[in-house]
Chains A and B, each alone.
Chain A
């Protein structure tokens, strides 16, 4: 039976996740516990949790498959996802924590004193969150089909159920422990098989790329640029812009910063995250390169996403191969669970504050109940999307989420934190221009509406033009409405940038 290791792995990871989550439930009592783990998580635990949450299906499965198919230019994805944290650390981490807000809409409301900006941000958080959740659920379906031969609807349903059970029972506090565990699980689930596989490769006499590989010549494959001359250069740089700047705008990344005790801890946490991500991303290219030699037919068949899952069995026969397959399946399943949980918390947090927690016909749900209701919505909607449309590219949807985040929340955060003169009108205009521009571009790509050549390239990777456009709009409109700079903007700058040790009036 080839499906046994996969089934065992999925069951063990699901049970371990539920067990740790239940243990976390015993210490989760208040709404603050649910949303931000009562802001008492130390840098190392928090960094593991952030790493566990951030390394999604795209990192665990996608990168190796992309490298196998397209070559070295795909290495820019993991670089961008890591460097995004450096940009976040340098420009956003400490001030964001010091702002004292729960979620991105909270930040916007505190900065501008405007319910209007808050609503726009809430819509964007939910949109980006659902966009990012959908490929996770869809990837879970692909994984379970590859690992145990289950129908594609099984994966989304199992992941949705486990996430819902965990998030609604313990919220952020229990999820912190779960995700820290899942980072280390994912790391070892790639590291151990990679070590064995590299040893096998050496003992096989270090074979090169299989000659049967259809497609580009080897030289093109190892070039770190998308092919196509000037267009390739544009695509690569646009990808860099989207990933370097988009990370700070992902809702599940941002919400994590509020769990740090203070701004200093937020910085140190981010630094540890950088190291943890760098460590992890050394591994997927190894699978991609080995796949070149041993599993080239996967790329030809368009199934490169399952490379990480199938490579151990292709290279190592017998029981050891089965055991390694079980390990990578466990890691992949952990990737779906942790990222989905984090996104679910972020989306549920926003929904509970702005939708489910609002008074409704004179009645109002309690904080924790509203949060749970928000979590149900945040899980059920993308599950239904994954069941209804299981064939939209996983990496594409994730790329779309990054591009939209980079074109909306990145300018909002950067200008909001560093420029006193940003007004509510400027923020809304920039969010609208960036969100509509990048969103329309990727919708056009998904529906293949654009003509080939430059128009198609510009729409496929919109970040390089949509991000500057959003910045320019925010600055321009803010300057035009200069008289409406919020009165408390100066006080808010004090709050964002001064160390907590100083006894200052922070508004």
Chain B
């Protein structure tokens, strides 16, 4: 990757002498400059050195993931955690029958499990997407 110099000079090395064909010099500067593969590391170095910028990157990842977790758990609390209160406030719900089975049994014995798996599945997808964004952010070539 670093061995092949680019075919055309994008940024002339000496703008004060535009007339001279400086191709050779341009190539040499590119090859001996800071190795390109280190460029993606620029932002990870901010994190390694615990600079303020690195702290901002880490803070954004942590906040994203924690916020995602809080959202998932809120849905869990609202949907499953509210059931005892609902049955406490409206005892008549116990008598409701759906498809020939009592409602509490359908909800607590059956429906809750696919719901938990669905929540988990959405969480995993989003958490992995957050990490991908973080990877992309830190891997962008700083140009």
Contact = CB atoms under 8 A, between A and B. Distances in A.
B117 A275 contact: yes
B105 A222 contact: yes
A87 B81 CA distance: 13
Chain B contact residues (Cβ within 8 angstroms of A): what range? 35 or more
Interface string A270-311: 110011011101100100010000000000000000000000
Interface in B76-91: 76, 80-81, 83-85, 87-88, 91
A485 interface: no
A223 B94 contact: yes
A323 interface: no
A233 interface: yes
Interface in A60-88: 72, 75-76, 79, 82-83, 85-87
A501 interface: yes
B141 interface: no
Interface stretch (A352-360, A443-451, A489-497): A489-497
Contact of A499 (B87, B95, B114, B134): B134
Contacts of A454: none
Interface of B (DSSP majority class): helix
A240 interface: yes
Contacts of A44: none
Interface in B51-86: 55, 58, 61-62, 65-66, 68-69, 72-73, 76, 80-81, 83-85
Given A275-B117, A282-B113, A285-B109, A219 B138 contact: no
A504 B120 CA distance: 28
Interface in A401-429: 418
Contacts of B110: 282
Nearest to B94: A223
A39 interface: no
A85 B83 CA distance: 19
Interface stretch (B10-18, B21-29, B121-129): B121-129
B88 A502 contact: no
A186 interface: no
A222 B94 contact: yes
Interface in A137-175: none
Interface of B: 41, 44, 47-48, 50, 55, 58, 61-62, 65-66, 68-69, 72-73, 76, 80-81, 83-85, 87-88, 91, 94-95, 102, 104-105, 107-110, 112-114, 116-117, 119-121, 123-124, 127-128, 131, 134-135, 138
The 9 closest A-B pairs by CB, nearest first: A278-B113, A75-B108, A505-B48, A224-B104, A90-B69, A499-B131, A236-B84, A285-B109, A223-B94
Given A79-B108, A219-B94, A503-B41, 17 more contacts: A72-B109, A75-B104, A76-B108, A83-B112, A86-B119, A222-B94, A222-B104, A223-B91, A224-B94, A268-B124, A281-B113, A282-B110, A490-B55, A493-B58, A497-B58, A501-B135, A505-B48
